[in-house]
Chains A and B, each alone.
Chain A
């Protein structure tokens, strides 16, 4: 165990006793403690991931079983496995299953996309739904549906092009020899304000009977989901999610700052562009499928950080937390609250106080503002 101090005095072979201030000599106990801590944190991370995955599975199963009619779990299982069961096949197979699958898919997408932005920009407020990227996707999707009369995959395409353009615009406008977090967030808020007024205008042009549907979609809703909406979002999740997870290490390096990341062997600009495109793709496809479900992208990262601790990447935990949030909020919105609320209203009302709390905590700590 010769530390870095050893190389500076090559003439006299240093022993631990000769080190003047113990610089470079790490006592064995410290090494053991650090290693033990790492093992403990890794173990905790594993436990948390497994628990989260089990919770997602449990709520997913619940949302298939519970509803206006409660089917026996065995029937539900048989429907999921493709058997034909009287009654349950329609309700569970055609109504509940696509809805629950879409909830998981968009939850994962929002969680992954949101935490990528938050990590890369080192600020929990820099989530796509705060800095206007979701607003861009919604405005484009509303325009595509109401004005252009499109539907299905072409709406997703318009949404992702617009969301990428907005991301580029926000980044470009906030860039002044480096991107400061607060400036980027406020620029994004300004862009979001413009895009929301565009959405408001488009919707005010919609016919009355479109309007109610458009408003529900804008709030973020899983109502009336069928498989044709689930497929593009799932495909996007598989492709973009794989890209993000394969760049976990690079994302962690970028979090340390561009120079450090470059020193660690990360090609900073190409990696960042790849990460942004993948994250925006997730957000845009999920938004096109279910509307901008409020605050899921914003909440998933910080909640994941709370439960996992600061060990390793937050990508996977944030994705799971996102899926859990959407599933639970959709269940609450459907059955717990008297009137049927779309899922986005529930997450919005839950997320709003947390957003305020985050601002209060950042200000108290004298954060980077």
Chain B
């Protein structure tokens, strides 16, 4: 009886149901985010530390580099593409990590995964003279994976498993520890220190079409794995026991989703350096907009992450004219207060 009743419930009810967000509203938000992203892409091409006219922008977009202004615009195009790719990857990676660990503080930066990726790259460069972009990417992914497993293992020791605060503390400690190893590796090598230092701050300034093209397959792979995990993450959100009761193989679901997240943040770190806090802020914002359903949350986080990183990059180009502020610095300055605000809430609830 009851099942018939639900099945024949009037269709408009779905739109006003307070628990399930109305589909129309979500669609509107999706449209809004896409419009914002498009606007930021245009802004990113048009605005920079050098002020250029509209004609230069149009000419530069067509590949002309006959004036300095046109050349600057032509430089900004790959940079914009990379910012979109990296921002989307970090946003999605953060959302997946928060889902996998059910931890509102999870972020590739806070959990130390980006630092692990950096250490792997730096070590490989300093010891075996790694210099190919693909080599960077593989090293970064390996470092990210090892660090993620380590931090999760340390954070989930003891009573209560991986509580949000324990995990965040384990991540921060690991990150601090790995940072001092990075210093130890880089400091005696004057020959490579300069290049590695600018990479270590995290920025998209040195983007080229080639570097973006090389990292893109890895990112796409990560995006596909992550998005396909959405339904599993929804089950995990109910708790391990319920998820297992629903027929989910909990460990497999976690491992697959985590693999996607690690691919994304490892590859992003390899090409742009460790950029923190994007993966923390973005999923929280998106949860406010579209609710906790991962099938909506994950694509939204991707788009919003791209928006955030583009906005931070554009901001970094204009705040300190004629020089630039690297995007990793801007995201830390914006994201850390956000992190503190979450920590300050009376209790940090598991997701």
Enumerate chain A residues within 8 angstroms of B105, measured Cβ to Cβ: 186
The residue of chain A having its C-beta at the shortest distance from the C-beta of B200 within the complex is: A200
In the complex the two chains form, what is the Cα distance from A93 to B160 in whole Å? Answer: 58
Is B178 in the interface zone, CB < 8 Å from A?
A: yes
What A residues does B332 contact at CB under 8 A?
193-194, 196-197
B336 and A363 within 8 A (CB): no
Smallest CB separation, B308 vs chain A (Å)? 16
Quick check: B326 and A204 within 8 Å, CB to CB? yes
Nearest CB on A from B176, distance (A) = 6
From A174, A190, A216, A366, contact of B187 by CB (8 A): A216
Give the CA-CA distance A204 to B201 in the complex, in Å. 9
Contact check, B154 vs A359: say whether CB atoms are below 8 A apart: yes
B166 touches A363 (CB 8 A): yes
For window 332-357 of A, CB contacts with B under 8 Å fall at 339-342, 344-345, 348-349, 351-353, 355-356
Q: How many A-B residue pairs have CB under 8 A?
A: 135
Give B315-351 interface residues, CB cut-off 8 Å to A: 323, 325-326, 328-329, 332-333, 336-337, 339-340, 343-344, 346
> Chain A interface secondary structure, helix, strand, loop or mixed?
helix
Interface size for A (C-beta < 8 A) is: 53
Task: Please state if B158 and A176 are interface contacts (CB–CB under 8 Å).
Answer: no
Contact assessment for B165 and A355 in the assembled complex, using a CB-CB cutoff below 8 Å = no
B285: Cβ under 8 A from any A Cβ: no
Residues of A near B168 (CB, < 8 A) are 186, 189
Contact between A348 and B183, CB atoms less than 8 A apart:
yes
Q: Which residues of A302-357 are within 8 A (CB) of B?
A: 339-342, 344-345, 348-349, 351-353, 355-356
Task: Number of B interface residues at 8 Å Cβ cutoff, please give it.
Answer: 49
Contact B193 A215 (CB under 8 A): yes
- Note all chain A residues with C-beta closer than 8 A to B157: 360, 363-364
Smallest CB–CB gap between A338 and chain B, Å?
8
Contact between B329 and A197, CB atoms less than 8 A apart: yes
B178 to A, closest residue via Cβ: A352
Q: How far is the CB of B327 from chain A (nearest CB, A)?
A: 11
Is B3 close to A, CB under 8 A?
no
| Residue of B160, B183, B333 touching A194 (CB-CB under 8 A) | B333
Asked whether any CB of chain A lies closer than 8 Å to the CB of B292, the reply is no
Chain B nearest Cβ from A312, distance in angstroms: 29
**Which chain B positions have C-beta within 8 A of A295?**
180
Shortest distance from the beta carbon of A159 to any chain B beta carbon, whole Å: 20
Q: How far is the CA of A210 from the CA of B172 in the complex (A)?
A: 30
Measured between alpha carbons, how far is A345 from B187 in the docked complex, in Å? 9
Question: When chains A and B are docked, how far (Å) is the Cα of A248 from the Cα of B309?
Answer: 50
In the docked arrangement, what's the CA distance between A103 and B326, Å? Answer: 35
Given the known interface contacts A201-B325, A356-B154, A356-B173, the answer about A176 and B346 at a Cβ–Cβ threshold of 8 Å is: yes
| B343 interface neighbour in A183, A204, A340, A363, Cβ under 8 Å | A183
